[in-house]
Amino acid sequence: MPEGRAPSGVSSERLPGGIEISQRSLLALSPWTVVGASVYALFQTGVLSPPGGELVVVSAAYLGTALLAALVWVAAALVADRTGVPTETPLAVAGILAAAVAVGVVLSTAEGDLRLAWPLAGVAGTFVGTAVVWAVLRAVRPDVTERVGGLGALALFGQLLDGLLTAIGIDVFGFGERTPLSRIIIEFAADLPTADLLGSGWLLLVVKAGLAVGVLWFLADAVEDDPTTGLLLLAAVAAVGLGPGLHNALLFIVATPG
């Protein structure tokens, strides 16, 4: 085979334990963000009460879930070696089942009626927003969307989900924002003349959308030149958006502002 760069989305590298870093394997891991978000929601609603402060809670929810997902990944690789099925299949199936159980547990903790309308509208709006932004990016820089592939689209979706659900939580449900930088942006927007019409969360969504596009633009070359590092960075961007976004959606469904 002639020497050169591998096609985008095809390159992969096998790590110890049979773990293969590729677009497909990392996408198959995405249901585990639902598990982490669900565990964090259970902490926030008081169903689970670990000792320690906020940092301990976040670590227990997301790092604990990441460790479990890694163990399942290794197990899926062993199953794949013995059965011949792609590693992504048992990995995705296990993640989907775990996510379904975790979401079911969260929903079962609701003391009153489930508030589905706004969270589901936020998720639907995120799909639309992602499609629009992705189409514009593909028209302007098709090389970027080709290189980052489906994982890049998921990263964009995750960041938009976090931004839109945060805006809904602030302007519709009256929740507060915990992240200092996000809170500064929200407070700045609240002082603008547009606050009465647009609320105070819209600016955070715009900032997150712009940053997400910038990150995809920046990481496109990394995915091409060093697929393992580039793909892992894309997965991290996706996770830090999907986790908080999904957590917000679940929290808004079952909880009332404190």
Digit-coded pLDDT (tens) for 112-160: 889 999 999 999 999 999 999 999 999 999 999 999 999 999 999 999 9
pLDDT at 62: 87
* Residue 13: strand pairing partners: 21
pLDDT at 13: 57
pLDDT at 15: 56
Instruction: Give the residue carrying structure tokens 């990150």.
Output: 215
249: number of Cβ within 10 Å = 26
pLDDT at 12: 53
Q: Which long-range contacts (CB under 8 A, 24 or more apart) does 236-241 make?
A: 237/155, 237/158, 237/159, 237/212, 238/30, 238/33, 238/151, 238/154, 238/155, 238/157, 238/158, 239/33, 239/158, 240/158, 240/162, 241/155, 241/157, 241/158, 241/159, 241/160, 241/161, 241/162, 241/208, 241/212
Condensed to tens digits (0 to 9), the pLDDT of residues 153-174 reads: 999 999 999 999 999 999 999 8
250: number of Cβ within 10 Å = 25
**Residues with pLDDT less than 50, the chain:** 1-10
